[in-house]
Structures are given as C-alpha cells and as structure tokens.
Structure 1
C-alpha cells in the first residue's frame, strides 16, 4: 500500500463491537499516518470522544447497548462535535440503512467487509468534505 501523507495526523475514532474490524481498521489507519482511538460500543466511545477530539468517526450500526444510529445522533447533537464527519459501517447494505444513516447525520456509509483502500478513501473524502476542499 502506498504512503498517504494527506492523512498524517488525522485523528480517527473507530467504534465497532468486532475486535477484528477494530484491529484491522486501526492497523490500516496507523500505517497511513492517522492517530487512532478505538471503542467497543457507543457508550465507551462517548467517554473517549470528548478527550480524543477526532477529525472523523467510523461507527458500526449494529452494536450492543448503544447502536450506531443513536451514537451518531448523540455526536451530532453535541455543539462541539456536530461538524465531525461520521461514517457508518455495516454488513447490511440496504437503502433503508443508508437513508437512516443520513437522517442521523452520517456523511458516508461503508459496507463491511471493506478493503484498506475503501477505508482510506472514506477518510480522505470525509476530511476533504469537512474542510470544504472538495
């Protein structure tokens, strides 16, 4: 995989109840130069997000305790975080899931399993969109 200097220093929070997804995303993002924080579910993420101050959040839809839709809605309802891009992760690739993700404020929807290139492109695209440099 080629070096991605445009991602250096980007702070990314990955919220997924799958240890495999968390580990693989963390490894790929670290190799691209991102600072990464991981959480198992929405509750754990809400505790970390305020101190970590991510530039981008990846959140799985199907999680115990607090699902991805509610987690995204809570992030977007916080005035300090509402401009933080959120990318929904899901093994379900339905139109309804995408629409519901948009309704709670998600910028993008990434279907699992995703490739390393898809993950990094989601980061690049979301950060470009957030800074208005599209």
Structure 2
C-alpha cells in the first residue's frame, strides 16, 4: 500500500460524541482523513470500506466493546497489521493486560492531549512525521 498517494486514514471509535469530535478536529488539522464510528459494529463495516492506517478505539462501548472490536480486527488476516490504540478513561493494569491479550498495540488514557494522539500515530505509522511537517 502506498502511503503517499492519499492522506493518512485514521479511525476513531468511541460512543462519546465529544471524544470523536475532539480527535477528528485534531487529526484533520494535521491533514488526516478521519473515519468515525460510535461502536464496534458501526466500525467493522467502515474498516472494510476505508481500510484505515491506524485505529483508536474506546474500551467501554455498547453492543461491541473495544476488546471485542480489537480481537475481530487482529484475527482478520486483511486487517491484523493495522495498529490498534485503546482509549480508556481509567489507567488500570487489568485493562492493559486484557488489551494485550486481544492485540492492542498501545493505550491512551482519556482525556488525551494532541501530543499523545499524534505521538501514537508517529510510533506506529511510518512516514507520518513527514506528512505532519507538511502542514
């Protein structure tokens, strides 16, 4: 997949409209295409349609939570290489351990800063720093 032909596609899955909007604004300001979803079910079809470069997902969501969503992404050969960053309002050891089991790449505690959000992308998406510099 060629990274420079399109903007970086970032998916944000959270049942909080505030979190989705905040992340979307921060990411669009640095030139990312942002795909949002309100829960795991909503996200799965969008992942297939948009094939994001990185996914941010909340733990606590109705219908399909962050752990289940991450497990489905990581168990699908077409999507298992997509980095999944878990968003959590609590910084617990149990949550992190459970997240590692299902394949979470990193955790961010809410509320997160712009630097934390962009730092996670830089850590997992090669070439993102260069794209960010252009904006």
Q: In the alignment, what sits opposite 2:130? A: none
Question: Once superposed, what is the RMSD of the aligned Cα atoms?
Answer: 1.3
Mapping 1:95-106, distance limit 5 Å: 95-106=93-104
Matches within 5 A, 1:18-57: 18-57=16-55
- Runs ≥4 in structure 1, deviation > 2 angstroms? none
**Equivalent in the alignment of 2:83:** 85
Structure 2 residue matching 1:17: 3-state secondary structure: coil
Gaps of at least 5 residues in structure 2 are 127-135
Q: Which residue of 2 aligns with 1:111?
A: 109
How far off is 1:110 after superposition?
Answer: 0.3
Question: Per-residue deviation at 1:127?
Answer: 1.2
User: Counterparts of 1:10 and 1:97 in 2: how far apart (Å)?
Assistant: 28
Query: 2:77 and 2:104 mapped to 1: Cα distance?
Result: 16
Could you tell me how far 1:82 is from its partner in structure 2? 0.4
SS of the aligned residue for 1:51 comes to helix
Aligned to 2:132: none
Q: What CA distance in whole angstroms lies between the structure 2 residues aligned with 1:51 and 1:64?
A: 22
Task: For structure 1, list consecutive stretches of 5 or more residues without a partner in the other structure.
Answer: 1-5, 129-134
